[in-house]
Structure 1
Amino acid sequence: MKKYFDYNYLKIAFYTIFVVIVSILVYRMSSSTDNIIPYIVEKFKSGLIIFEPIVLGFIIAYLMNPAVGFFENKFKRYFKLKSKKKLKKSRSLSISLVYLLLFGTFILCIIFIIPEILGNIVSIVNNSETYINILSTYLVDLEYFIKTNFSVIPSDVTTKFFDTINISKIFDIGLDSLNTILNTLVSGTISFTNILLDWVIAFMVAIYILGQKESFVNGIKRIIYWLLKPDTAQKFIGLCMESHEMMIKFFVGKSIDSLIIGILCFIGLSILQNPYALLISVIVGVLNMIPYFGPIIGAVPAVIITLFEGLLPAVAVAIFILILQQFDGLYLGPKILGDSLGITPFWIISSVTIGGGLAGAAGMFLACPITAVLIIVINRLIDKGLEKKRIDLPKLEPDSFYDLDVTKPDVEA
C-alpha cells in the first residue's frame, strides 16, 4: 500500500516553530530590562546578513519592476507581440534596458555629480575657521538686535541662550563626524570586495526574479492558500495587492517629484550664482522624499551653507526654497502623487515622527505607506465588527465633519 505524505504535519510544524519564536521573544522581554524592539532589530540584522544578497535582490527587483513593466508594455503595444517566445524576448530586452539606464546614470553621477559634491564639502572643511568667524559675527549681531528691539525678553536670558550656541563646538562635532565617516570608509576598503560581491549577486538575483516574477507571485499565492482558509487567503491577497499598488504609486511618484524639485532647485540656485548649488540641490531633493518634514529639514542646511557667503544670499536662498516648496506642496506634488496614500496630515505627521524615532531617515520615509496599510487593515476590522453588531456608523471624512450627526449611531433591530 502506497503511503502519502500528510501535509497537515508540515503545517503543524510551521505553527509550532512560530509559537516557539514568539515564546522566546516574550521570555526575552519579561526576563530582561532591555527593550524588546532593539533586541528584535539586532537579531533581524544578524539573520539578514546571511541572506543579504538574496534580500537585496528581491528589493532591487521590486523597485525596478515598474520600470520593467513600463518598457515591456510599450514593446507589446508598438510591436504587437503575442507569441510566448516574443513576449519572453520583450521581457529580457526591458530588463536589459532598465539595467543599462541604471548603470548609465550611476556612471554619470560618478563622473559629474559626486566630484562636484566632494569639492563643495572639501571647500567647506578647508574654510571652516572663516565660516566659524562669520557665523559667530551673525550671532553677536542677532543677540544685539534682540536685546535692543525686544526689551520684553530679559537681557540675561538672551545672553545665556546665545552662550549655549557654540559655533566652534558645532563645527568640531561636524568635522569629527566627517573624519569618522572617512576613516570608516578607508578602514573598510578591505571589506569592499565582499560588499561589491554582495551587490553583484543581488543584481543577478534581481534579473532572475524579474524574468520569472509571475512564477514567484504564483508560488507565494500557493503558500498563502495552503496556510489560510480560502476566504481569508483571498482577502489577504486582495489586501497585499492594494498595498502593493499604493506603495508603488507613492514610491515612484515621490521619486519623480523629488527629482524634479532637485533639478529646479539646481537651476534656481545656479541663476542665483550659489557656489554650492549642486550640494544644496542634492540635499533638498533627497530629503524631499520624506513627507512634510523633509522639505523643512532640507531647507535648514541649505540656508546655513549659503550663510557662509553672506546674509543676503542666504535670505535669497531661503525665499527661493520657500517658493519651491509651496510650488511642490500646492501644485507639483498633488499633480504627480494625488491622494496616493489616502491618509490625513495628522497621520502623516504622527507616522513620520514615530518612524524617525524608531528607524531614523529610513523610518521617516517608510512610515507613511506602512501607516496607510495599517489604517486600511484596522478600518476593515472595524467595519467587520460593526457589521456583526449591526451598527451603521460610516467612516467620517475630514471635509464632512460638520455634516454628520454622530450623537447616536443607527442600530438595526
Structure 2
Amino acid sequence: MEIDIKKHLTFPVFLICFLLIISLIFIFPALKMIVLGAILAYLIKPIAFKIQSKLKYSSVSIIIAMITVIIPLIVLVGYISYELYSVVSTIITSGSILDINQFISQCINYLHINVNPNELSQSVTSSFETIISYVMNYSVSIVSKFANLSLDLFILVCSVFYFVRDGDKCLKFIKSFIPDDSINFFDKTIEDIKNVLRSIFYGHFLTAIIIGIFGCIGYSILGYPFGAFLGVLTGILQLIPIFGPWPIYWTLFFIDVISGNYPRAVVVLLFGFFLSGVDMYIRPALSSHYADIHPLILLVGFLAGPLVYGIVGFIAGPLILGITYTVLDSYRKEYLMGDE
C-alpha cells in the first residue's frame, strides 16, 4: 500500500492539488453565484436550444433565453414593490392606525381575552414600527452594498451564459479524469443531479406558481382589496414548506369573522382548504415523478439553505442535500449492495 501511495503522490499531483486549493480560495466569495448560474443554466438551456433552432446563432439564442427568464422575475419584483408601496400608502392616508385599534378591540371582545386593548395596540404598533425599521435598514444596507451586488449579478449572468454554451464541454472535461471503472457511477450521479433539479423545480417552484395563480383569481373574485397581491404572497409562502397558503386564508377568515362578513369567511376558508388540497396533490405527484427524496431532506434544505447562502440558499440548500442523498443512495446500491 505504501508503494502505491508513493506512486501516485508525484510532483504533478501536488502541484494540481496546490493550484486547486488556491483557485478555490479565490473563487469562494463568488462560488454561490457560480453554483446558482449552473442551476439556472440547466433550466435555461432547453429554451436556448429551441430559440437556436430558429436563429442558428447560439450566443444570440442564449441571450434571448436569459432575457425571457429574467424579465418575468424583474416584473414580479417590481410588482411586489409597487403593491407594498400602495398598501403602506393606503394605511397612512386612510389613518388606519385607528382601524387597527378598533380591530384589536373587536378581536379581544370576540375571543373573550382579558387583555388591555390599549396596551396590546401599542405593542402591535411598536412591533410594526420595528419591522418597518428593520426593512428600511436592510434596504439601506443592500443599497450600500450595491457594488458587491452588481459584481454578484455580473458573475451570475456570465456563469449562466457560459454554462449554457459550454456546459457540455465542461462536463466532458471533468469526465475525462474519471477512472473507467467509475464511469457508470459518474453518469448515474449526473442523471441523479438532473432529477433532483427537476424535482425541486416542478415539485416546488411550479407548484408555487400554480397555487399563486389560483390565489390571485380566487381572492380577486371574493372581492378582497389587493387580491392579486395576496395571490402572489400565497405563491411565495408556498415555496416555504412549513408555511404554504394557510397564513393568508386563515388571516382573511378571521378578519371576515371579526368584521361580521360570515358568508365570505366560510367561502375563503373553503377556498383555502382547496389550495392546501391542491398543494398536497400536485407537489408529491410532480416531485416523486423525478426523484424519490424524503420530504424532510428538502425541508431542512429549504430552512437551512438561506442561513448559509442567503436567498440563493432556497435553491442551493435543498439541491445540495438532495444530491448528497441521491449520490449516497447510488453508491449504496452499486457498490455496497452489489457486493452482497
TM-score range with shorter-chain normalisation? Answer: 0.7 to 0.9
AA paired with 1:303? Answer: W
* 1:274 positional shift: 0.6
Give yes or no for contact 2:209–2:235 (8 Å, CA) kept in 1: yes
Structure 2 distance, partners of 1:358, 1:75, is 35
Quickly say closer, same or farther: Cα 1:184–1:359, change in 2 above 3 A: closer
Matched, 1:317 2:271: no
* Displacement of 1:324: 1.7
Residues 145-182 of structure 1: CA deviation (Å, up to 9, x unaligned): xxxxxxxxxxxxxx69x99x956424522431221221
Larger relative contact order (CA 8 Å, sep ≥ 6): 2
Provide the rounded CA distance (Å) in 1 between the counterparts of 2:104 and 2:26.
44
> What is the aligned partner in structure 2 of residue 208 from structure 1?
162
Partner secondary structure for residue 99 of structure 2: helix
After TM superposition, the structure 1 = structure 2 runs for residues 71-220 of structure 1, keeping only pairs within 5 Å, are 71-73=48-50, 75-76=52-53, 86=56, 89=57, 91-109=58-76, 112-124=79-91, 127-143=96-112, 166=120, 168-186=122-140, 188-220=142-174
Amino acid across the alignment from 2:154: V
Partner of 2:112, secondary structure, is helix
Q: Whole-Å Cα distance in 2 between the matches of residues 110 and 365 of structure 1?
A: 18
* 2:255 counterpart of 1:304: no
Relative distance call for 1:221 and 1:369 in structure 2 (3 A) is same
Q: 1:326 aligns with which of 277, 282, 286?
A: 277
Give the whole-Å Cα distance in 2 for the aligned partners of 1:17 and 1:93. 34
Find the counterpart in structure 1 of residue 180 from structure 2: 230
Shift in Å, 1:121:
4.1
In the TM superposition, what is the alpha-carbon distance from 1:66 to its structure 2 partner? 2.5
Question: How far apart, in 1, do the equivalents of 2:138 and 2:305 lie?
Answer: 24
The amino acid that maps onto 1:142 is L
**Aligned residue for 1:247?**
197
1:294 is matched with: 243
What secondary structure does 1:273 align onto? coil
1:59 Cα deviation from its structure 2 partner: 1.6
| Alpha carbons of structure 1 residues 15 and 212: separation in structure 2 relative to 1, 3 Å | closer
CA deviations over 1:166-219 (Å, ceiling 9, x no partner):
564245224312212213323553432442243134313432332222222223
Instruction: For residue 288 of structure 1, report the CA deviation from its aligned partner.
Output: 1.4
Q: What is the distance in 2 between the residues matched to 1:188 and 1:374?
A: 32
Match in the other structure for 2:11: 9
3-state DSSP of counterpart to 1:339: helix
Code of the residue aligned with 2:221 in structure 1: it is I
Structure 2 residue runs of 5 or longer lacking an equivalent are 1-7
Q: What is the aligned partner in structure 2 of residue 407 from structure 1?
A: none
Partner of 1:100, secondary structure, is: helix
Q: Which structure 1 residue ranges, 5 or more long, are not aligned?
A: 1-5, 22-43, 145-158, 391-413
- State how far apart, in whole Å, the 2-side matches of 1:58 and 1:124 are: 41
Q: Secondary structure at the match of 1:212?
A: helix
AA matched with 2:295: I
Q: Distance in 1 between matches of 2:303 and 2:234?
A: 18
User: Judging changes above 3 Å, is the alpha-carbon distance between structure 1 residues 113 and 48 closer, same or farther for their aligned structure 2 residues?
Assistant: farther
Q: Residues 283 and 241 from structure 1, CA distance in 2 versus in 1: closer, same or farther, beyond 3 angstroms?
A: same
Larger fraction in helix: 2
For 2:46 and 2:168, locate their aligned partners in 1 and report how far apart those are by CA, in whole Å: 12
For 2:320 and 2:32, the matched residues in 1 are separated by 19
- Following TM superposition, by how much is the alpha carbon of 1:221 offset from its aligned partner in structure 2, in angstroms? 2.3
* Aligned-residue offset at 1:72: 0.9
**TM-score, with normalisation over the residues of structure 1?**
0.63
1:278-321 per-residue CA deviation (whole Å, 9 max, x = no partner) reads 33212210121234x231xx421453367456353555433212
The equivalent of 1:65 in structure 2 is 42
Q: How many residues align?
A: 321
Question: What is the CA-CA distance between 1:95 and the residue it aligns to?
Answer: 1.1
- Between structure 1 and structure 2, the one with the greater Rg is 1
Shift of the alpha carbon at 1:272? 0.6
